Amino acid sequence: MNNVLEYLEEAAVLHPDRIALNDGKRSLTYGQLIRLSKQIGNHETRLALLAVREKLISNIKKNPNAKNIPIGIFLCTHFDI
């Protein structure tokens, strides 16, 4: 194990129902923690991809002869997360 993320992922596999975090009022298991973390990460990734796609579309409007821009839009539109 090299970092805390590897530790959490391994703990989620080995002990998905064990409590990972508890603040006295709420608790999260390792499994819930990993799922929540991935949901947050996926949301941030989607927002970033949408921003890139909008920038690419803007560039096409400015320079319709630009090469590779359509490929970038395709990748941002069809990126499976």
| Average pLDDT score, the chain | 76
Structure tokens that stand for 34 in this block: 């990993």
For 5, 29, 73, the CA distances from 20, given in Å and listed in that order, are 13, 5, 39
Convert the pLDDT of each residue in 26-39 to its tens digit: 888 889 888 888 88
φ, ψ dihedrals at 55, nearest 5°: -65, -40
- Give residue 14's pLDDT: 94
For 7, 53, 66, 79, 81, the CA distances from 12, given in Å and listed in that order, are 9, 34, 46, 26, 20
pTM for the model stands at 0.55
Convert the pLDDT of each residue in 40-60 to its tens digit: 777 777 787 777 777 777 777
User: What confidence category does residue 81 fall into, taking pLDDT thresholds of 50, 70 and 90?
Assistant: very low
- Give residue 58's pLDDT: 77
